[in-house]
Structure 1
C-alpha cells in the first residue's frame, strides 16, 4: 500500500471518529440546553441548535486542519474546508438588544491643516527694536502740533486786521490804481501774517498830484483805527505838524517820542501800529534822520514791529514821462495788475536811484509807483463825489464836468489828466 492510500485511510477514520464525537456532544448539549431554553419557541430553539452545531464543527475542523498540516509531507496540497453557509456575525440572541437604545456614533471633528508659509517658518524671526524710535515718533508729533498751532495763529493774526474788508474798500473808492492797491495789500498780508519780525515794513508810494495818494492814506488810517484802535495809528502831515524848518529838530524829538509811546503800547497789546507820513517830499532832514534810525535794517532796536507808509510826489516827472511815452506800447488787453506790474518793473530802478540820492531813508523802503489817471477814472471820481454830496449822478452832467479838466495830449487810446481828481471836489461844490 502506498503512502497516499495510508494517509487517506487515516484521514477517513479520523473524520468518522470526529463525526461520532460531534453527534455525541451535540446530544449532550441539547439535553443541557432544553431545560434552559424551554421558554423560547420551537423555531428559535432549532436555529440556536443548528448554529451551535456548526460552530462546534467549524472549531473542530480548524483544529484538525492544523494537526494534519503538520503531518503532511512537503509539497502536498493544503486541505481547505468547503465553503458553506454560516451565521457568522449574527448575534446568538437577536432579541436581546431590542430593549437597549441605539447609540449614535460621534463624528470626529477634523482639525484644520495648517500649511507653512513660503518662507518655510511659521513666524518671522523677532527683531530687536530700538527704544530710540519711540523718541523719534514723539518728536515728530510735537513738531507737527507746533507747526499746526503756528498756522492757526497766523490765520488768527491776519483776521484781526480784516484785510479782506480793507481790500473791498480800496477797490471801491480808489480809482485807476488797482495794480498799486494789489501791491500794497500783498506787502501788508506778508507782514501781518506774523507778529515777530526782524525789521519794520516800510512802503513808499510815489505819484503825480491828484492820483489818489492822500485819499489812499486816509482810507488806510480809518481802517486801522477801527481794527487796532486810535492810539496805535499816526497820520502825520508834515506841512501841518512841522511847517517851519527851524523847528525841525524839535519836531523830530516830538515825533520820536510819539512813535515810542505807540510802539510800547502796541507791544503790550500784541498788535502792530501804523504810521502814515503824507507829503513826505516836504520832510526836513532832521525828521528823516530820526525816522531812518527807527527803520534801518542794520539797527537793533525795539521798533521792529511797525508799519511805516510814506506818501510823496518824488519822481513824478519820471512817472509822467514814462507813461506818456510808453502807453502806446502797452496792450489794452492787459489787466490793471498787468499794466501796474509793467510800470513797477520799468520805474522802480529809476525811482530808487532818484530818491536814494535825496536821503538814505528811501533805500530802506519798498517803492510803489502810482500812474496817471485817465478820463474814465476822473468821471468815476465825479460820480462818487456827487453821490456823497447828494446830487443825482447824471451821466451827461458828469461828462460835461470831466471835460473841463485839463488833459495831456492823447496817446493812442489813452487820455491822461494833468491834475487827476484834485479839482473834482471844488467843481462839485460849485453845483
Structure 2
C-alpha cells in the first residue's frame, strides 16, 4: 500500500516539476512553492516519526497473535499480554517495562519480541525505534567491557532522547559478559528523569537460554506426575527461575543488581515444546511459505527431530528452531 501511495505522490511531484518550464515566472514561483510543500509532505508521509501515526498499541492484535501464533506457551502468553497491555495503557508509568524471557532455544522468545513490536510500532521490527543487541555482534570482547558499558549507556540515552517509546531487545543474554547489563540499571529504575531524560515509557526485553533447564525440569515433573502441562502456572516456575538466572555464572544476569533491586518486572518462562507442538510449527511454516499445510509431512518432519529424555522423547531439544530450514527437504 505504501509503495502505491509513494508512486502516486512521486508522479504528482514529477508533473509539477515538468509544468514549471511551461509557465511564466510568477506561475513558476507558485509551482515551485507547491513542489517544496509536496516535498515536505512526502518526507513527513514516508519518514517514521515518534508520534501516534507510527506508534500505536494494538491490544486486540497482540491478544490475537499470542493466541493464534505462539505455540505451546500458555504461561508466557498470559504474562506477556497482561504486562504489555497494562504498561501501554498507563499514560504515566513509574518505570520502564522490563521483561526477562527464558527457555530453551526454539521455544518462541524471539518470536514474542517480534509480536510485541508489530503491535506497537507500525514498522514492527524494522522500526527505527526498536533496537536489538546481541552479545556476539555488539559485545564480543571481554577486554572491552568498560568501553561497552559506556557505549551502551550512550546508545540508550540517545535513542530514548530521540523517542521516549523506544524498545530495546537484548538477545543472547546467557552469553553476555557479567556486569555489562548493570551499566543500564539507572535507566530501569524508578527515576522521573536522569540528566533531563525520562526512561519511563521505554521497554526492555532480555532473551536468554539461562534458566531453561529449571523450566524443563518442572515441565518434566508435571509430565511424569501425569499432570497436563496446561496446569503449569507462573507460581510453579518464577521463584526457581529467578534464582537459577541470578546464580548462573554463565548468564549476563549473574548476580545482577537488576534482579537484586527487583527491577525486572516479569521473569517469563517458555516451556519446552512437545512433538505435537512441533507438528503445529511445521504446519504454520508451510502456510507462511505459501504452501498447502500437510499434516503427514509435518508429522514426518517433527518425528525426525531430537527429543529429551532420549528414552521417552518428550521435549524437542531445539524446539521449532530448525523447522523452517528443514521444510524444503520434506516437501
Q: Which residue of 2 aligns with 1:388?
A: 288
Confirm whether residue 295 of structure 1 aligns to residue 209 of structure 2.
Answer: no
Confirm whether residue 171 of structure 1 aligns to residue 64 of structure 2.
Answer: no
Counterparts in 2 of 1:240 and 1:220: CA distance versus 1, 3 Å: farther
Q: Quick one: which of 236, 250, 254 aligns to 2:151?
A: 254
**Deviation of the 1:174 alpha carbon:** 1.5
Counterparts in 2 of 1:221 and 1:238: CA distance versus 1, 3 Å: farther
Report if the CA contact (8 A) 2:172-2:208 is conserved.
yes
Counterparts in 2 of 1:187 and 1:330: CA distance versus 1, 3 Å: farther
The alignment yields a C-alpha RMSD, in angstroms, of 2.7
- 1:316-368: CA deviation from partner (whole Å, max 9, x where unpaired): 11111121122243643x8x4xx342xx2122111222222312223421211
Moved more, 193-202 or 389-398: 389-398
Q: For 2:311 and 2:63, locate their aligned partners in 1 and report how far apart those are by CA, in whole Å.
A: 31
Q: Which residue of 2 aligns with 1:307?
A: 203
Q: Which residue of 2 aligns with 1:424?
A: 323
Q: Quick one: which of 277, 302, 307 aligns to 1:407?
A: 307
Q: For 2:166 and 2:91, locate their aligned partners in 1 and report how far apart those are by CA, in whole Å.
A: 11
Counterparts in 2 of 1:290 and 1:409: CA distance versus 1, 3 Å: closer
Counterparts in 2 of 1:227 and 1:340: CA distance versus 1, 3 Å: farther
Structure 1 segment 18-167 matched on structure 2, within 5 A: 160-167=56-63
TM-score (norm 1): 0.56
Q: Which residue of 2 aligns with 1:346?
A: 236
TM-score (norm 2): 0.71
Counterparts in 2 of 1:193 and 1:330: CA distance versus 1, 3 Å: farther
Confirm whether residue 226 of structure 1 aligns to residue 122 of structure 2.
Answer: yes
Counterparts in 2 of 1:416 and 1:286: CA distance versus 1, 3 Å: closer
Report if the CA contact (8 A) 2:107-2:270 is conserved.
yes
Q: For 2:308 and 2:236, locate their aligned partners in 1 and report how far apart those are by CA, in whole Å.
A: 21
Q: Give the secondary-structure state (helix, strand or coil) at the position aligned to 1:405.
A: coil
Give the number of the structure with larger relative contact order, counting CA–CA contacts within 8 Å between residues 6 or more apart.
2
Report if the CA contact (8 A) 1:200-1:306 is conserved.
yes
Counterparts in 2 of 1:299 and 1:288: CA distance versus 1, 3 Å: farther
Q: Quick one: which of 166, 173, 185 aligns to 1:273?
A: 166
**Deviation of the 1:249 alpha carbon:** 2.7
Q: Figure out how many residues of one structure are paired with residues of the other and give that number.
A: 263
Q: Which residue of 2 aligns with 1:373?
A: 273
Q: For 2:321 and 2:156, locate their aligned partners in 1 and report how far apart those are by CA, in whole Å.
A: 31
Q: For 1:314 and 1:409, locate their aligned partners in 2 and report how far apart those are by CA, in whole Å.
A: 19
Moved more, 224-233 or 308-317: 224-233
**Deviation of the 1:220 alpha carbon:** 2.5
The higher radius of gyration belongs to: 1
Q: Give the secondary-structure state (helix, strand or coil) at the position aligned to 1:225.
A: coil
Report if the CA contact (8 A) 2:279-2:298 is conserved.
yes
Report if the CA contact (8 A) 1:191-1:201 is conserved.
yes
Confirm whether residue 245 of structure 1 aligns to residue 145 of structure 2.
Answer: no
Q: Which residue of 1 aligns with 2:113?
A: 217
Report if the CA contact (8 A) 1:206-1:369 is conserved.
yes
Counterparts in 2 of 1:172 and 1:392: CA distance versus 1, 3 Å: same
Moved more, 293-302 or 229-238: 293-302
Q: Quick one: which of 65, 69, 83 aligns to 1:187?
A: 83
Q: For 1:196 and 1:182, locate their aligned partners in 2 and report how far apart those are by CA, in whole Å.
A: 23
**Deviation of the 1:241 alpha carbon:** 2.0
Q: Which residue of 2 aligns with 1:283?
A: 176
